[in-house]
Structure 1
Amino acid sequence: MNASQNMLGFIMASGEGEIIGVESAANTYEVLYPDKSVMVRANHYLTERFKPLDLFAKYWSDSYLRYHRLKVLIEKDRGKITPELMMEKLANHMNHPKSICAHPDPDSAFPPSQTLASIIMVPEKRVVYIANGNPCETAYVAYHPDP
């Protein structure tokens, strides 16, 4: 593996509600499985063997804070999660400027980082909600992929 390779992480879901995540580096990958039917992604590797390659997390460590905060918020409402409740959680500003809904920090020593989009998938209903920008400022649009 080459540390200069970019991280690639994505989530796939079926209409039957099956969810998996995939993280890759160079010419290898790992499959991730949901935690109690929920999968959360941020901007760092979750796979142990890829963590030494994670240059993004070195410079923008707030990814760990956002990931942990979202997992705590989801666990708090486990069993009662709706798309609307997730939209609220993804617009959360606790720990600003290192919040889930991230806005550029002019005082940062590193290039600014911010939330560019927010995605909520409800596979069993065949709907994906996407906010193109900060979810506190941008309405989610529902997309219904063809069967």
Structure 2
Amino acid sequence: MLGMFQLHYSAPQRFTCWLGLYNPFPRSVLKKEYCLHYDVSDAVFLRASLHEINHMILYDKWCATHGGERHREPEFPDTLWYLEELAVVPTLNDQRIQKIVLVRHSAYQSLEETLVDGIPLPEQIEKIYGQGEDIPVFLQKAYDFLVKSGFSKPSLR
């Protein structure tokens, strides 16, 4: 995933999954931590872990390419939150990831049902990703598309 995002850390990184009794899946991209219910299936554990780690790597790449400071979690309705949630579809379904882990990923149902120009929002983001440009260009174009489409609370810029 790091190669796909063209991200190189100067030191090894630790992504921590906390197992607990409660079902919500909170995460912290700043601390590189996320939580899962202790009794999820292996398939759910794998899918959810990839999803959460994808958010963390995307956030780090965004900060690296935009000079952003790692000081605030992107939260709904930040544009960067939307970008994180929508980018999981094309990035985790990329053949480079699918060769390793055959788990299809999708966006939240509410995002799947959101139409922009008559097309579901995740499909719009997949089209941008499908243009084959490098990750920084994809992230910027997708971010700009979200802003233009009205998903534009000031974000980490």
The answer to whether TM tops 0.5 is no
Tell me which interval the TM-score lies in, with the shorter structure as reference length.
Answer: 0.3 to 0.5
Q: Which structure carries more helix by proportion?
A: 2
Q: Larger % of strand: which?
A: 1
What is the TM-score with the length of structure 1 in the denominator?
0.33
Larger relative CO (CA 8 A, sep 6+): 1 or 2? 2
